[in-house]
Amino acid sequence: MSSSPPSPPVPAKAWGVLISSTIAFTVCFMVWMMFGVIGIPLKKELGLSATQFGLLTAMPVLTGSLVRVPLGIWTDRYGGRIVMTILMAATVPAIWLMSYATEYWHFLAIGLFVGLAGGSFSVGTPYVARWFPKSRQGMAMGVYGAGNSGSAVNKFLAPALIAAGGWQLVPKVYAAVMLGTVVMFWLFSAHDPKHLVSSTSRFSDQLKSLKDPRVLKYCQYYSIVFGGYVALALWMVQYYVGEYGLSIQTAALLAACFSLPGGVLRAVGGVLSDRYGAHKVTWWVLWVSWICLFLLSYPQTAFTISTVDGARDFHLGLNVYMFTALMAVLGIAFAFGKASVFKYISDDFPQNIGAISGIVGLAGGLGGFILPILFGVLLDVTGIRSSAFMLLYGVVWVSLIWMYWTEVRTTDVIGQSKPA
């Protein structure tokens, strides 16, 4: 049996691009998730309902999602270095102005501009991927995607800043950090004209890929592994506070047990996807997520049973330790899944990574926008906090069924996978 040919060498500049881009994405994601923590004192200060809180946390996610397709296409055309630099610089004034907002609509409006930071994912993904040979692209995109851990950084940093100077201090510090990151990225990143797509390519040409059923399927997968991750990262601090009566600092620390592995381990998911293939990793990710969400969906339950000795009261539900452990496992699964979905993209669309990653990223981001709002609506309607996990459980079911009929069943019938 012949061994596979060795991978082409990785250019020295590629590692500088990967490191500087990952740091930049980490800061962008930290800013993007800001409302997940400062939203707690704002909810009390403004007297918000669960639905209003969900909308508040979701507003930055909306613009960060909608700009992903054009940003991915512009990255293909003009290069990731210039697009990323301009994007980050454009968010600095909005982040700073956040500290002066006083009304609910102020936060919603400014949040739309702060949300541009979330579009950085569709810039960095094709940017770093093209610096590496195909056999290492899963690793490169996974390392870059580990910048999702900015959500955990936010949970460590924001509560400390709130304790030191109130929630208004958070956007001021974040604006300064973002400005410094702009300078760092420009100095340590690089540009290669060979990575650009022909400037004669039109938006409509690249968006035709939406007609490909594979793209729609990857959008569905990403709506749970990324959209679900973003939604839970925004929702978990207030969930801990409401469900278990914890302080913001303790709640943020425990919520980071989901956010941190859900970001950092994306790089491991990229390596596993390179080695075992995108399909196998994604299949197992969905099943692990299904099990975790099934257990997390069960609400706190008190019931009485008549026994020979009289009535006995019982309580059934997850305590804070079991809940946190399940959330950590779910975060790991989502981390692997985020990487494996983009391995599908680099395998199937090597010449159009920017546009396709923008489309799939848009779907995932819209999931991250819609889900927190639905979490709030379900909580207001049912009064059951675990209804958020019930909703995600249903989304995972859709993905599992879709994958079975288009990939697993096809493989079982003909002995090899073919595009769906």
Beta-bridge mates of residue 307: 310
278 with 185: CB under 8 angstroms? no
- Per-residue tokens: 39: 């939203």
Q: What is the pTM of this model?
A: 0.80
- Distance CA(66)–CA(55), nearest Å, equals 16
- The whole-number average pLDDT for the span 165-193 is 92
- The domain in which residue 224 lies consists of 12-198+205-414
Q: What pLDDT, in 10s, does the model give residues 210-262?
A: 677 888 888 889 999 989 988 998 899 989 999 999 998 999 999 988 988 87
Do the domain assignments include residue 285?
yes
Helices (H), 212-348: 213-225, 227-244, 248-264, 266-276, 278-297, 320-348
Q: What is the pLDDT of residue 420?
A: 45
User: What CATH number did the domain enclosing 94 receive?
Assistant: 1.20.1250.20
How far are the Cα atoms of 72, 302, 314 from residue 310, in angstroms, in the given order? Answer: 66, 17, 13
- Distance CA(64)–CA(119), nearest Å, equals 5
Place of tokens 């403004």: 46
Q: What is the pLDDT of residue 287?
A: 94
- Distance CA(239)–CA(386), nearest Å, equals 9
CA dihedral sign of residues 158, 160, 161, 166:
positive
Query: Residue 357 — very low, low, confident or very high, per pLDDT cuts 50/70/90?
Result: confident
Do the domain assignments include residue 3?
no
Segment among 11-20, 37-46, 205-214 with least mean pLDDT: 205-214
Q: What pLDDT, in 10s, does the model give residues 138-158?
A: 788 878 888 888 888 998 899
Evaluate if residue 308 carries a pLDDT over 90.
no
Query: Residue 321 — very low, low, confident or very high, per pLDDT cuts 50/70/90?
Result: very high
Q: What is the pLDDT of residue 177?
A: 96
Q: What is the pLDDT of residue 271?
A: 82
- Distance CA(20)–CA(369), nearest Å, equals 27
Q: How many domains does the chain have?
A: 1
59 with 370: CB under 8 angstroms? no
Backbone φ and ψ of 350, nearest 5°? -65, -25
Do the domain assignments include residue 104?
yes
Element housing 303 (H / E): strand 301-307
Q: What is the pLDDT of residue 152?
A: 87
Query: Residue 15 — very low, low, confident or very high, per pLDDT cuts 50/70/90?
Result: confident
Q: What is the pLDDT of residue 8?
A: 66
- The whole-number average pLDDT for the span 390-394 is 94
Do the domain assignments include residue 114?
yes
67 with 117: CB under 8 angstroms? no
Query: Residue 417 — very low, low, confident or very high, per pLDDT cuts 50/70/90?
Result: very low
- The whole-number average pLDDT for the span 290-294 is 95
Mean per-residue pLDDT of the chain: 86
Do the domain assignments include residue 240?
yes
How far are the Cα atoms of 24, 98, 165, 330, 343 from residue 148, in angstroms, in the given order? Answer: 11, 22, 26, 15, 17
**Among the listed residues 255, 262, 330, the one whose alpha carbon sits nearest the alpha carbon of residue 290:** 330
Do the domain assignments include residue 5?
no
179 with 90: CB under 8 angstroms? no
Range from 66-70, 167-171, 353-357 that averages highest in pLDDT: 167-171
Segment among 103-107, 123-127, 410-414 with least mean pLDDT: 410-414
Evaluate if residue 1 carries a pLDDT over 70.
no
- The whole-number average pLDDT for the span 8-26 is 85
Q: What is the pLDDT of residue 307?
A: 84
Q: What is the pLDDT of residue 372?
A: 92
* Other Cβ atoms within 10 Å of 253 Cβ, number: 18
Do the domain assignments include residue 4?
no
Query: Residue 350 — very low, low, confident or very high, per pLDDT cuts 50/70/90?
Result: confident
- Distance CA(150)–CA(403), nearest Å, equals 30
- Per-residue tokens: 256: 């980071």
Do the domain assignments include residue 420?
no
- Distance CA(285)–CA(360), nearest Å, equals 18
Evaluate if residue 88 carries a pLDDT over 80.
yes
Q: What is the pLDDT of residue 406?
A: 81
